[in-house]
Amino acid sequence: MLPIDIVFPINEIKNQFTDSMDIELYAARLDQIHSIVSGNKLYKLHYFIEEAKACNHNTIITFGGAYSNHLVATAWYSNYHGLKSIGIIRGEKPDSLSHTLIDCMSYNMELIFIPREQYAQIDKTDYIQQLKTKYPDSTVIPEGGYHPLGAKGASLIMNQLKDSTITHICTAVGSATTLAGLLQNAEVNQKIVAVPVIKNMTDIPERLTYLHQNKQFNPPVILDNYHFGGYAKYDDNLLNFIYDFNKDHQIISDFVYTGKMFFAVMDQVKKGYFKKGSKVICLHTGGTQGNFSLPSTSIIFK
């Protein structure tokens, strides 16, 4: 059975705010599909792996930074399918590897480090062409699975959320690939609520146009005030929220993606954004392995 065929649990989040606003709030636990690999990443990878198999490729090549959830997911999922994987890593090889890269290696990923300046120019050079020449039996997956095939894979998440009593589905947004997938497969009455974790992410419409390849979709609701200063930026307010949220609801979130999404949704619940009777699903996309990049004294580990 494929990991994406696993029925993910849906847990209710009930507290004084959901009670007083008279809404139902749930977490769809894609984080429970695997302890290290982010749930949404497996969905995004699905059709790339299918393509690799259809082409008889034996190698998957992808890209990412030292803490990338996408890299470790690609390493794990390729290995699961008996495929070799190669990770092109942003930056020179450090003296000690991050826990993420060590996990990647444990799933048999070969790591190739390239300088940041070169990494930033990859799309403007023939680097990918060179890779394909060097590894002819390989499928190349863009960073974060940012591609229409990635969105198509993410759309499979909705198969388990096809309940028309659900009014809102909320997700953290990085590359917007997961968001595009949710929009593709949403019921007409369902609003998709997007929480960008990057500052000034103004290009979501253009991203969605590319990811949807001209398919029609209803625009998402974008809550763009919850990035906490930018990608992987955080403050005590966020870390305290993550700590309390876990204490109250036994749900560990991460400081890069899902912590910001849960914070945004709880804040909007308190502010009355969700009308009485709303049934709101928050996608817990995983990513908690990223918390290990925080100092070990962080409140998250208390």
In whole angstroms, the minimum distance from the beta carbon of 178 to ligand PLP comes to 3
Say how many residues touch ligand PLP, by CB under 6 A: 19
Task: List the one residue from 87, 142, 144, 259 that touches ligand PLP (CB under 6 A).
Answer: 144
Work out how close the CB of 22 gets to ligand PLP at its nearest, in angstroms, rounded to a whole number: 29
d(CA 150, CA 231): 21
Residue list 16-55, contact with ligand PLP (CB under 6 A): 38, 40-41
Q: Which of 78, 285, 289, 291 binds ligand PLP (CB under 6 A)?
A: 285
State the burial class of residue 149 (Cβ atoms within 10 Å of its Cβ: 0-12, 13-18, 19+).
buried
Beta strands in the chain (DSSP E): 10-12, 24-29, 59-64, 84-90, 109-114, 138-140, 168-173, 191-196, 221-222, 279-284
- Which of positions 175-214 make contact with ligand PLP (CB under 6 A)? 175-179
234 binds ligand PLP (CB under 6 A): no
62 binds ligand PLP (CB under 6 A): no
100 part of the interface to ligand PLP, by CB under 6 A: no
Which is closer to ligand PLP, CB of 21 or CB of 39? 39
Q: What is the DSSP string of 130-186?
A: HHHHHSTTEEE--GGG-SHHHHHHHGGGGGGG--TT--EEEEEESSSHHHHHHHHT-
CB closer to ligand PLP, 88 vs 286: 286
* Residue 220 engages ligand PLP in binding (rule: CB under 6 A): no
Read out DSSP for 62-74? EEE-TT-HHHHHH
Site residues, ligand PLP (CB under 6 A) = 38, 40-41, 69, 144, 172-179, 254, 257-258, 285-287
